[in-house]
Amino acid sequence: MQLVADHLQKKFGAITAVAGVSFAARPGEVLGLLGPNGAGKSTTISMLAGLTKPDSGSVTIDGVTLGTGADPTKRRLGLVTQEIALLEELPARMNLEFFGGLYGLAGHALAARIAAVLELTSLADRAGDPPNEFSGGMRRRLNIACALLHEPQILLLDEPTVGVDPQSRNAIFETIEVLAGEGRTLIYTTHYMEEVERLCDRIVIIDHGKVLADDTLAGLLASAPVANKLTLTYDLPPDGAALAEITGLPGVIQVDLAGTALSVSATDLGTAAPRVLERLAARGFSCQELTSRRSNLEDVFLALTGRTLRDT
């Protein structure tokens, strides 16, 4: 199923939380909504889930406009909330019975779905225990399982890995990959660029309630004015003539010097690194240390907003 957000706008008093957000998520695709805290991701998710009515714009699922309240179109959606919304004192199985019941599931159909989601989230052996006896990662997995009982074709995951250990995070990633492999549409919000880089087929970058970019990872890296970075530390600071020569090399975008540390931004590290080392060695400068870093979403975000994701 395809979900389309069309010019969504939402204000809370004088504050504009979402200002004309548009994108489309296709079946089998994991769409990442990336942005810092307060960017408008959760409000957008609320509108996508039919919890909050947009001031203007619309959400459609396969062409059918999504409403709030008892709109039956909501049956096609599953929401994994940012908060772990579970009945902490009741066993995991009773939690699943409850959330399945909310979507009208009962009897054998409910039992079969509970078995399936417990298997998918690797919680079958802990079904009789209450979540307040679970680890953070297990509680997160149960939180996801509760949203899958009614077999939604579109899954909205609002920061589903907050506060979990790396092992549990990987388990959650595997679950998400399985769901995407089944042809479901997944919309995944986070402010962790590493998660987006690993999981998402397409990335929508949001800040101040607006879409700044909407592309694949490769497309974003290619289109944004960002570069790979080479950092070299010399015994003596290279002189002005050396810097001028390095700056003029093919593929070098920018050169900065801080003390004895030389920072070189280049479109292709494989080509630029040997040339820089060779020219400076010829001028008698001895390289003490060399590091390189490939450009990433953080750089894209920095280029688009002038800020880093973690600064905000």
Partner 1 sequence: MSPTLTAFKALVRKDIALFVRDRRALVVSVLTPIVVAAFFGFLFGGTGSGGNPISRMAVGITDLDDTALTQAVIESLTQDESLAIQVVPEDQARQLVKSGKLRAAIVFPAGFETAATGALVGLGQMPDIKLSYDPSQTMVRPMVAGLLTQHVMQRISRPNFIGSSKPAPFNLVNTAVTTGPRYNSYAHSFAGISIQFILFMGIDAGVTLLLMRQEGMWRRLRAAPLPRAVLLGSRVAGTTLISMMILAVVYLAACLIFGVRIAGSVPGFVMVAIAFSLLAATTGLMISALGRSVGATRGVAMFSVLILVMLGGAWVPSFLFPEWLQQVTEFVPTRWAVDGLDAMTWRGLPLQSAFMPTAILVGWSVLFAAIAVWRFNWEDD
Binding site for partner 1 (CB under 8 A): 46, 49-53, 69-75, 77, 79, 81-87, 89-90, 94, 97-106, 146
- Least Å distance, CB 81 to partner 1, is 4
Q: Which is nearer to partner 1, 53 or 283 (CB)?
A: 53
- Least Å distance, CB 96 to partner 1, is 11
- Least Å distance, CB 157 to partner 1, is 13
Q: Which is nearer to partner 1, 75 or 310 (CB)?
A: 75
- Least Å distance, CB 77 to partner 1, is 7
Question: Contacts by 93-97 with C-beta closer than 8 Å and gap 24+?
Answer: 93/118, 93/127, 93/128, 95/131, 95/142, 95/146, 96/127, 96/142, 96/145, 96/146, 96/149
Q: Which is nearer to partner 1, 72 or 240 (CB)?
A: 72
| CA–centroid distance for 48 within its chain | 16
- Least Å distance, CB 87 to partner 1, is 6
Q: Which is nearer to partner 1, 12 or 244 (CB)?
A: 12
Whole-number Å distance between alpha carbons of 50 and 54: 9
Measured CA to CA in angstroms, residue 38 lies from 62, 137, 312 at distances of 29, 24, 9
- Least Å distance, CB 194 to partner 1, is 25
**Ramachandran region of residue 64, left (φ > 0), alpha (ψ -120 to 50) or beta?**
beta
- Least Å distance, CB 83 to partner 1, is 3
Q: What six digits make up the tokens of 291?
A: 């590091």
Q: Which is nearer to partner 1, 95 or 305 (CB)?
A: 95
Give the residue among 231, 229, 221, 202 at the shortest CA–CA distance from 301: 221
Q: Which is nearer to partner 1, 77 or 204 (CB)?
A: 77
- Least Å distance, CB 130 to partner 1, is 9
Q: Which is nearer to partner 1, 104 or 183 (CB)?
A: 104
Q: Which is nearer to partner 1, 158 or 299 (CB)?
A: 158
Question: Contacts by 239-245 with C-beta closer than 8 Å and gap 24+?
Answer: 239/283, 241/283, 242/279, 242/280, 242/283, 242/285, 245/279, 245/283
Q: Which is nearer to partner 1, 184 or 202 (CB)?
A: 184
- Least Å distance, CB 183 to partner 1, is 22
Question: Contacts by 48-55 with C-beta closer than 8 Å and gap 24+?
Answer: 48/3, 48/5, 48/77, 48/156, 48/187, 49/74, 49/77, 49/79, 49/156, 50/74, 50/77, 51/79, 52/10, 54/8, 54/9, 54/10, 54/18, 55/9, 55/10, 55/11
Q: What six digits make up the tokens of 144?
A: 């996801």
Measured CA to CA in angstroms, residue 157 lies from 163, 190, 305 at distances of 15, 9, 25
